[in-house]
Amino acid sequence: MTDNTPQNSLTLLGLGDMGTALARTWLAAGHRPTVWNRTAAKAEVLAAEGAVTAASPAEAVAANRLVVVCLLDDASVGSALDGIDLTGKDIVNLTTGTPAEGRARAAWAEARGARFVDGGIMATPTMIGVPEAGGYVFYSGSRALFDTHRATLEVPAGARFVGEDPGHAALHDVALLSAMYGMFAGVSHAYALTEGEDIAPEDLAPLLSEWLGAMGFFIGNAAERLTSRDFTSGVVSNLAMQVAGSGTLLRTAEEQGVSAELISPYLELMRSRLTADPAAHGGEDTAGAITLLKR
């Protein structure tokens, strides 16, 4: 049964892969979203499933107080909402962007009389509406907006509010994605090293998963060291040893005919930390190298 009380009604701009997945979970939960998409055919598919279609972004925005935006990038958000009356609207922007774009978009919306929350989706479209998949969305910006619409926002995926700075949802999103790409880089290098040898990727896969899981302790350990600025107490694998060992990694890449481009930046960062002051940093945990990154 549809529930289109003002509390549960919403507009959704953008019906790409992610927007369509969002719309379907709201429909399945009994909402009747008003949807708009630049390419109208995608909206018509959802109309057949129960959504209300709008002929323009202005018509869609006018239909409801809560307006969820899930477009390609910040520029497409600007072009879709350009010139539309946003007075009294609650805008939740799930379009991926930078922290600065989130802050600028919040100021832009507030100057037009709207409340604004930015979001960073930590899920693929197939994880939307599947709570056991573990996907969720970071939100930041207007706490009042978030509290008003929390129940609706939690329909597609879990909601994690990370503060009133509208740039912080994007910052959390990008921090986690950046860590993910670091892991992808290391795993890619490992597969390249073993390719062509009598080591099947399927045999290496569980070993990689197990090892990366065991090494996950670095995350919490580095957090504690960054907070305390103590990079030397209780170190079990010191920087001098790790830099010496990194030569083995580079020579092995050479022997296997594999480019070291994915791992050498991190090895070089450790080396820079050590060579700046071997006596001071040789006994440190590698977390000390993080301090070199901030420009």
d(CA 254, CA 262): 13
125 vs 282, beta carbon nearer ligand FVH: 125
* 72 touches ligand FVH (CB under 6 A): yes
Q: Which of 47-55, 71-79, 225-233, 237-245 is the region at the interface with ligand FVH (rule: CB under 6 A)? A: 71-79
d(CA 290, CA 273): 9
Write each residue from 8 to 37 as x if it is in contact with ligand FVH (CB under 6 A), else as -, in one continuous string.
------xxxxxx-----------------x
- Distances from the Cα of 60 to the Cα of 6, 14, 118, 132, 152, angstroms: 15, 11, 19, 32, 17
One of 2, 25, 38, 163 touching ligand FVH (CB under 6 A): 38
- Cα angle 53, 59, 63; round to 5: 80
* 76 touches ligand FVH (CB under 6 A): yes
79 vs 252, beta carbon nearer ligand FVH: 79
Question: Residue 38 Cβ, how far from ligand FVH at the closest point, in Å?
Answer: 3
One of 7, 56, 124, 275 touching ligand FVH (CB under 6 A): 124
Question: Residue 177 Cβ, how far from ligand FVH at the closest point, in Å?
Answer: 9
One of 53, 64, 96, 242 touching ligand FVH (CB under 6 A): 96
Cβ neighbors of 100 (< 8 A, separation 6 or more) are 167
Q: Which of 23-31, 67-75, 106-114, 278-286 is the region at the interface with ligand FVH (rule: CB under 6 A)? A: 67-75
46 vs 274, beta carbon nearer ligand FVH: 46
Span between the terminal Cα atoms of the chain, in Å: 54
* 70 touches ligand FVH (CB under 6 A): yes
Place of tokens 């979001």: 119
- Distances from the Cα of 277 to the Cα of 175, 238, 291, angstroms: 29, 14, 14
* 99 touches ligand FVH (CB under 6 A): no
Residue at 137: amino acid letter: V
Kindly tell me the burial class for residue 165, based on how many C-beta atoms sit within 10 Å of its own C-beta (0-12, 13-18, 19 or more).
middle
Q: Which residues of the chain form contacts with ligand FVH (CB under 6 A)? A: 14-19, 37-39, 42, 70-73, 76, 79-80, 95-96, 121, 124-125
